[in-house]
Amino acid sequence: MLRADLTARLRHAAAVALLGPRQIGKTMVARDIANQWEAGVVYLDLERPAGQRRLEDAETLLTAQVDTTPANVKRSRLSVSRLTC
C-alpha cells in the first residue's frame, strides 16, 4: 500500500516528503521507486547536512526538476505531498 500511495502522489505532485520513525524502510522504498521512475528523481536525505543545504532554496531546486512540457504543465505548480508512515 505504501508503494502504491507514494507512486500515486508522485504522479500528481512535484515533491513528496516521506516521513516516519527511523529504521522502518522509508529509504528502501524511496530508492526502489526512484530506480524505476522514468522521469528521474531527486532524492534528499534531510538527516544529512548536504540534503539540508540543497533544500535551503527549495523553489529553485524543485523548479529545476519540473517537466514543463504541455502534458505536464499541471505538475509545474510545485505542489508537495506529505506521506507519513
Greater pLDDT, 1 or 73:
1
User: Of 78, 20, 84, 13, whose CA–CA distance to 47 is shortest?
Assistant: 20
pTM tops 0.85: no
In this predicted model, what pLDDT tens digit does every residue of 15-73 receive, in sequence order? Answer: 788 888 889 888 888 888 888 887 777 778 888 899 888 888 877 877 776 655 444 44
State the DSSP string of 51-64: HHHHHTTHHHHHHH
Cβ pair 81, 17 in contact under 8 A: yes
Per-domain boundaries in the chain: 2-84
User: Which residue from 24, 23, 21, 26 is spatially nearest to 5, judged by alpha carbons?
Assistant: 26
Can you give the pLDDT at residue 56?
Answer: 87
Of 53, 59, 57, 52, residue with least CA distance to 79: 59
Where does the pLDDT of residue 83 fall: very low under 50, low under 70, confident under 90, or very high at 90 and above? low
